[in-house]
Amino acid sequence: MRVRYYIDPATQVPHVYNHGVSDEEVEGILERPVEDRPGRDGSRVAIGKTSGGRYLRVIYVPDPTPGSVFVITAYELRGGNPYKPIDGGSAVEGDRDEQTTVPSGLG
């Protein structure tokens, strides 16, 4: 997969670096996300665990060229549940022990 990054105009480096996230971590999440679903305005949101054990959220858009993506940002998920719904929803009391299946056809 070809990965391009948004370059922060103030620092002239990929924006993900401002969040302490490396290219390798982003690409690892994109290759094997635990969850990958639609975001806002045509973007996608991938969530996963790095080889170092950190949970990251990667916001990206698919490029017109197959097998290529443009990463807007990525950051570490901290505290509570790293898989909290993007829309701000929360788990319903009593549902915490239920298993959730992530559709494999996403992305």
pLDDT in tens, 25-63: 999 999 999 999 999 999 999 999 999 999 999 999 999
Cβ proximity of 51 and 32 under 8 Å: no
**For residue 89, pLDDT beyond 70:** no
pTM score, two decimals?
0.73
Give 84's pLDDT tier (boundaries 50, 70, 90). Answer: low
pLDDT of residue 93: 34
Phi-psi region of 41 (alpha: psi -120 to 50; beta: other; left: phi over 0): left
At a CB cut-off of 8 Å and minimum separation 6, what does 5 contact?
14, 15, 16, 23, 26, 70, 71
**Tokens at 26, concatenated:** 């982003």
Alpha helix (H) residue ranges in 1-107: 23-31
**Tokens at 24, concatenated:** 């390798």
